[in-house]
Amino acid sequence: MKNNHFCCGILIVILFAKLFPSIGNAGGILKPEITVKYIAVSVIFLNSGLTLPTEELKTAIFQWQLHLLVQGFTFVVFPLIVYGLVSVLQYTFLHPALLEGMTILSTMPPPVSSAIILTKSVGGNEAAAVFNSAFGSMLGIFVTPSLILLLLGSSNVQVPTQKIFQQLFTTVVLPLIIGQIIRNSQYRWLQRQRIPFRTIGHVLILFIIYTTFCATFSRTDIQMDTLSLLSTIVLIFCLQLSFMCFLLLFSSHSMFSFTSNDSVTITYCGTHKSLTLGIPVIEIIFEGDPNISFLSVPLLVYNPMQIVLGGMSISLFRQWLIDQKTKRRKPPFHWYHV
């Protein structure tokens, strides 16, 4: 507990969200529809712009193998595996709409916040995380609805791409550019200020966790039996943990030239899914569907779980990176130690 303040913070904000969900829910005092959607995300990318050396960012853009692996896993491998899993689970007691929600979850792009902060906290390739989060989110505007329509056979739907692009530009691209401009023109001044960038990142991710759980605990439209809910939670936990282990092992294999820092980035970016884009897409595509609340459950469970698992894995990833630096080849840490 003494050495894992961030994990303690996660538990505290989840408990606080359970006790006072209305404070951090949409329309509440904290106004997450503004403070999280615009301010928190903007500060995260401004933070990255201020701390990332421009050369690292330029180098990361051309790491095409890393980007191909992350985006390929996100939009091809992840959906295919889940689609196969759902094909088997349809013969179980789980509600068909719940299984459709699993398929929808698999098509989501990476988020523009959690993967970056966690990568930075561990000491991974932050520049690559920034690029993949931003690029994946923009790619998801087109790919995610198309995959949903392909896998579920839904009717054609119009997604407000212009509005989403404008939001991504103002909260992702613009703050990153501003941060880079300030860093390159006022570097010595920034060094003298000793701004606690890591602490700011941790506070922001805890704030996002709190508001996410507030939204989850505040939902009253989901009428699901306890067994189905627990089964969904266990299923998603196992799925996410398996994907994290697979990506870490796969990307750190000797057949690739990825560094240990790259593997951390690939693991986080490849397994995280965006709630910000996911819920609006579900509401747009399945508007009027009586089972729409079931369709959103897997994403509502997956999103906070990815942050909690990510927070719990920080110290393990840090130790693994240290081991990799002191020993040329060492198998990744064992997840059963979590």
**Which pLDDT value is given to residue 323?**
86
What CATH number has the domain bearing residue 169? 1.20.1530.20
Q: What is the pLDDT of residues 262-297, one digit of tens each?
A: 999 999 999 999 876 777 677 667 766 677 777 878
Q: In the chain, how many domains are there?
A: 1
Buried b (16+ CB within 10 A) or exposed e, 312-333: ebbbbbeebbeebeeeeeeebb
Q: What is the pTM of this model?
A: 0.74
Judge whether 261 and 321 are in contact, CB under 8 Å.
yes
Burial environment of residue 158 by CB neighbours within 10 A (0 to 12, 13 to 18, 19 or more): exposed
**Which pLDDT value is given to residue 312?**
82
Which pair of tokens denotes residue 54?
A: 């421009």
Stretch (H or E) spanning 33? helix 32-34
φ, ψ of residue 10 to 5 degrees: the values are -60, -45
- Percentage of residues in the chain with pLDDT exceeding 70? 86
Domain residue limits at 211: 5-337
Picking from 228, 249, 220, the residue whose alpha carbon sits closest to that of residue 335 is: 249
The string of DSSP codes covering 289-306 is -TTHHHHHHHHHHHHHHH
Which pair of tokens denotes residue 65?
A: 């193998």
Judge whether 206 and 10 are in contact, CB under 8 Å.
yes
**Which pLDDT value is given to residue 245?**
92
Q: What is the pLDDT of residues 209-253, one digit of tens each?
A: 788 778 777 766 666 667 877 888 899 999 999 999 999 999 988
CA–CA separation, 83 and 98 (whole Å): 13
